[in-house]
Amino acid sequence: MKSQISSLGHAGLWFELGDTRLLCDPWFNDSGAFLGTRHPFPHNTHLKTQSLKNFASLKQSDFIYISRFHNEHYDPKSLKHCPKETPLLISKLADKALKKGLQSLGFTRIIECDSHERKQLAPNLQIQIISSENSRHADSTLIIKWHQQVLINQKNCPLNQRQIQELHQNYGSFHLLLSGFSPEGTEPILLNPDKRASFQRSKRVLKQQDDAQKRFKQSVIAFKPKFAVPFPSPSCFLDKVLIPLNTENPTIATTIEQINQWRQGQESQALAWQLLPGHQIDLVKNQVLIAPSWNGNINLLNAISTGNTAEINDYIQSYAKQKAPAIHDYLSQLPLSEPLLFQEFSQFIHSLIEKNPVTLPKAFPFPILFRVRGDYGGDWRIDFSKQKKLVTRLSHHSQNSSQRDAYILNIESLYLQNILNNRISWSDFFHSQRFQISHHPNLPVDSLIRFLSLQKPSPIQTQESAWKNTKQNTKRDSEKSIKSLNPLKITVIN
């Protein structure tokens, strides 16, 4: 009887548990994600042919799990190879765009799972999908109970104290934890940074890395699993302009030394494994099996294990050349900018202020300058203090006027056009890093990013009120006792 997990690269997993197969977050898109900038590290190209055959062989007794509506987890090009009658599991609280996207691909059995419900997939096999209650992370965690083993596929999904307590109450002990070790986000590239701005950016990068490793340690301490795996590995940048961003993240290749360091002095005695594309976890023998495909890549395997930066950089340069044609083909298919781009942008900004006529001017009482490069672009300023004329077209690159702007965003007209046409979301665009930004040193750089990512009808909060609510929610969660935990119900999927 099979009892193993295969890594498909990044967050992709292929579970074989008895007669049931479970596919999680496959990502085999040759053009990567987020406007072709991000790709699995290390590459998973050698697994693609066999994996797609396996996807096509899925039966109605097998399952697919998609954790979130995110390019690295929800990949239509991979999912199109799966039979559309295969049951597909998602969180009930997932971004509604995820369900719509899956329906548009033709999937007919989409099962929305409540956080407090355990699904019986097969004899001795149950799952539970827990939605993050952090408003900034529309993510989910997958719990699998296989016979007496409990496996947690957490990735970078934040869980609060109450949710962890519920899991301990419902499952007792945990066999395997897969949890994020590397920063999920990347600091944006600054436009003409001064020393102070560069220093602040470097501090934020280091803080992101430190916070990510602290979250991994906290998850291991909280769950106390027998085995822990830093997972998923971060995606890498292959665009020639963005490749230097890879070197900012020393955990792009989680080394054996880093894995062992966090164990020193920790409360948990969990053993840690390294999981690379093609590696398998044998749940019977409790060991990681190195894929034969790595036999011809011993140098890279050693470089990843030891953190050899020079070797890894050489590999990424070669990887970028291999993927360049697919990235070029993808970008060349994007519709070009149109003559009415400024009018469409102005309409978009007016629609945002109509939804938030009071809070938006309070949250942004300063001008924002868009420098739109390319056809039908220009310098466009947003000023919420001017009710009748929110967006103004300026003379080209007016240096004097830019000094009064709190934010300056450089963006290609091609990408702005596709955002306004809803082919690309603001969130995906910012993940792509295909922009440059400058900001006043006293203002947080992510305020503008959060503002533009707002495309939902619900009113926004000011930064101060959002922070207060976050603290109140955290305090309320921590005060809930075990007695108030939600009961778990079990349903059988036929």
pLDDT digits (tens, 9 = 90+) for 285-320: 999 998 887 877 777 877 777 777 888 889 999 999
What is the band of 262 on the pLDDT scale with cuts at 50, 70, 90? low
Residue 63 in domain: yes
Is the predicted pLDDT of residue 390 greater than 60, yes or no? yes
Closest to 491 (Cα-Cα) out of 4, 87, 73, 16: 87
CA dist 357 and 350 (Å) reads 10
Same domain assignment for residues 308 and 447: no
Q: State the average pLDDT over residues 362-375.
A: 91
- On average, the pLDDT of the chain sits at 85
Helix or strand holding residue 444 (H, E): none
pLDDT value, residue 260: 63
Contact 406, 447 (CB under 8 A): no
Shared domain check, 309 and 416: no
With cut-offs at 50, 70 and 90, classify the pLDDT of residue 468.
very low
Residue ending a domain, among 272, 292, 322, is: 322
Residues 27 and 155 in one domain: yes
At 406, the pLDDT band (50, 70, 90 cuts) reads: confident
Tell me, what's the pLDDT at 493?
74
**Local confidence band at 481 (pLDDT 50, 70, 90 cut-offs):** very low
Secondary structure class of 476 (helix, strand, coil) = helix
CA distance 207 to 204: 5
CATH label of the domain that carries residue 390: 3.30.1050.10
- Answer whether residue 115 is part of any domain: yes
Ordered alpha helix ranges (H), 238-363:
256-263, 298-306, 309-332, 341-355, 359-363
Write out pLDDT tens, residues 413-466. Answer: 999 999 999 999 898 999 999 999 988 877 777 788 877 876 543 333 333 333
Please give the pLDDT value at position 331: 94
Same domain, 248 and 388: no
Cα gap 451→233, rounded to integer Å: 29
CATH of the domain at 134: 3.60.15.10
Same domain, 192 and 268: yes
Which pLDDT band, with edges at 50, 70 and 90, does 141 fall under? very high
Reported as a pLDDT band with limits 50, 70 and 90, residue 488 is: low
DSSP 108: -
- Is there a domain that residue 302 lies in? yes
Averaged pLDDT for residues 20-28:
98
Task: Quickly count: other Cβ atoms within 10 Å of residue 185's Cβ.
Answer: 13
Residue 352 within any structural domain of the chain: yes
Q: Which residue has the higher pLDDT, 365 or 126?
A: 126
The confidence score (pLDDT) of residue 258 equals 65
The total number of structural domains in the chain stands at 2
Return the pLDDT at 283.
96
pLDDT of residue 61: 96
Asked whether residue 165 falls in the same domain as residue 79, the answer is yes
The 3-state secondary structure of 134-191, one letter per residue: CCCCCCEEEEEEECCEEEEEEECCCCCHHHHHHHHHHHCCCCEEEECCCCCCCCCCEC
Question: Is position 267 within any domain?
Answer: yes
Cα separation of 360 and 459, whole Å?
A: 9
Whether omega for the bond prior to residue 42 falls within 30 degrees of 0, making it cis, is yes
Same-domain pairing of 30 and 171: yes
**What pLDDT is stored for residue 173 in this prediction?**
94
Under 8 Å between Cβ of 276 and 7: yes
Reply yes or no on whether the pLDDT at 75 is more than 90. yes
Show which of 291, 322, 353 is a domain's final residue.
322
Q: Which of 205, 170, 206, 176 is nearest to 189 (CA)?
A: 205
301 within a domain of the structure (yes/no): yes
CB 336 within 8 A of CB 414: yes
263 lies in the same domain as 352: no
Q: Which helix (H) or strand (E) holds 467?
A: helix 463-479
Using CB atoms within 10 Å of the CB of residue 484, give its burial: 0 to 12 exposed, 13 to 18 middle, 19+ buried: exposed
pLDDT of 482 reads 36
The residue among 158 and 192 whose pLDDT is bigger is 158
| Residue 480 domain-assigned (yes or no) | no
Judgement on whether residues 273 and 350 belong to the same structural domain of the protein: no
Segment of 105-109, 262-266, 425-429 carrying the highest mean pLDDT: 105-109
Highest mean pLDDT among 62-71, 175-184, 200-209: 62-71
- Lowest mean pLDDT of 30-44, 210-224, 240-254, 331-345, name the range: 240-254
- Chosen domain end from 259, 291, 322: 322
Instruction: Read off the pLDDT of each residue in 200-206 and give the average, rounded to a whole number.
Output: 78
**Other Cβ atoms closer than 10 A to 265:** 6
Please, what's the b/e burial string for 435-469 (b: 16 or more CB within 10 A of its CB; e: otherwise)? bbbbbeeeeebbbbbbbbebeeeeebbebeeeeee
Cross-strand pairs, 289: 280
Residue 207 domain-assigned (yes or no)? yes
Q: What local confidence, expressed as pLDDT, does residue 475 receive?
A: 44
Judged against a pLDDT cut of 90, whether residue 397 lies above it is answered with: no
Whether 138 and 204 map to the same domain: the answer is: yes
Q: Are residues 89 and 186 in the same domain?
A: yes
| pLDDT score of 234 | 77
Looking at the fold, whether 269 and 406 belong to one and the same domain comes out as no
Query: Is the bond preceding 234 in cis, omega lying within 30 degrees of 0?
Result: no
Distance CA 353, CA 285 (A): 59
Owning domain of residue 208: 3-322
